[in-house]
Structure formats: structure tokens, C-alpha cells
């Protein structure tokens, strides 16, 4: 058997519909479009949101506010939640997920300064609030931006 002997399984392929090639083809004259009307014209179909000239739904509904497409949404953790963690001196997003403090990292981790920490910790996150940096430094720890 050679490559030129291969052909598709019987019944798996159909002949293409050749329209507008004379009356004898069965698809001649109006080319399967019927007589006149919107769908018989060239470019005669309207888009999926077209409602027959009625004001489309997307234009009828009131629009309010503004959604910034470029905003960075952080997973937020306060210092009071970190102070409850025992056994680790280096805190990262992975350790917080393992402990169940955060479920979804979103676009990054931000540490906020609510609460106090008593022991020196090294915290690696994507962003810190000013009060969190001050409290971490006061406890003798380090705030590292990852």
C-alpha cells in the first residue's frame, strides 16, 4: 500500500454544494436563497444582537459606574492574622495558603497593619501598607517585596 492508495472511509465525506452553476445542478437560478427578501440579498443577515429595529437590550439597560480593567486585586492579610501563626519565621504567600489564612492569591499578596506582632518575622509579599512596614520593623522583622 502506498500513500496515493489511501482514501477516506466510505460515507465519511460529502460532495461540496456548488451553488449558482446552472439549473441542471439543482442549485441554480436563485442559488438556494429563494425569491427576494432580506436573506436573498448580499450581506442580508443582521448581527446576533439585532432585534428587528427595536432598541437592542444592551442599549436599553442603564449603565452606571466604571470598572478599571487594569486594577490589581490583592489577597489581603492583616498582621493580627500573621501573629497567630506559630512555627515559622519566614512568611510567604505559600505558607499562608497552607495555613488556610488565604484561599486565593488573586494578583498578589498585600499585608495591612491591623493588629500587632510581637516576634521578629521576615514577611515576603507583593505589597505592604505603610503602617504594616512600621510595625514589622518595630518588632525587629523585615518586610520584603517579592
For each of the domains in the chain, give its residue range(s) and CATH number, in order of start.
75-145 (3.100.10.10)
Report yes or no: 93 and 125 within 8 Å, Cβ to Cβ: yes
Question: How is residue 125 annotated by DSSP?
Answer: E
**pLDDT of amino acid 124:** 96
pLDDT in tens, 66-101: 999 999 999 999 999 999 988 889 999 999 999 999
Instruction: Indicate if the pLDDT at residue 5 is higher than 90.
Output: yes
Three cell numbers written together for 80:
493580627
Q: Strand pairing of 127-128 and 122-125?
A: unpaired
CA dist., res. 14 & res. 21, Å (int): 18
- Residue identified by cell 518595630 is 138
User: What mean pLDDT do residues 96-125 have?
Assistant: 94
- Residue identified by cell 452606571 is 64
Half-sphere exposure of 21 (CA within 13 A, CB side): 6
**pLDDT of amino acid 1:** 87
Amino acid at each position: 500500500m502506498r500513500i496515493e492508495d489511501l482514501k477516506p472511509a466510505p460515507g465519511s465525506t460529502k460532495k461540496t454544494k456548488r451553488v449558482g452553476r446552472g439549473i441542471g445542478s439543482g442549485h441554480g437560478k436563485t442559488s438556494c436563497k429563494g425569491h427576494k427578501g432580506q436573506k436573498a440579498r448580499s450581506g442580508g443577515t443582521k448581527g446576533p444582537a439585532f432585534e428587528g429595529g427595536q432598541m437592542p437590550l444592551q442599549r436599553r439597560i442603564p449603565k452606571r459606574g466604571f470598572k478599571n480593567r487594569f486594577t490589581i486585586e490583592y489577597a489581603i492579610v492583616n498582621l493580627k492574622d500573621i501573629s497567630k501563626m506559630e512555627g515559622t519565621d519566614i512568611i510567604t504567600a505559600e505558607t499562608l495558603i497552607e495555613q488556610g489564612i488565604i484561599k486565593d492569591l488573586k494578583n498578589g499578596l498585600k499585608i495591612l497593619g491591623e493588629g500587632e506582632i510581637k516576634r521578629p518575622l521576615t514577611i515576603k509579599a507583593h505589597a505592604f501598607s505603610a503602617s504594616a512596614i512600621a510595625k514589622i520593623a518595630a518588632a525587629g522583622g523585615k518586610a520584603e517585596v517579592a
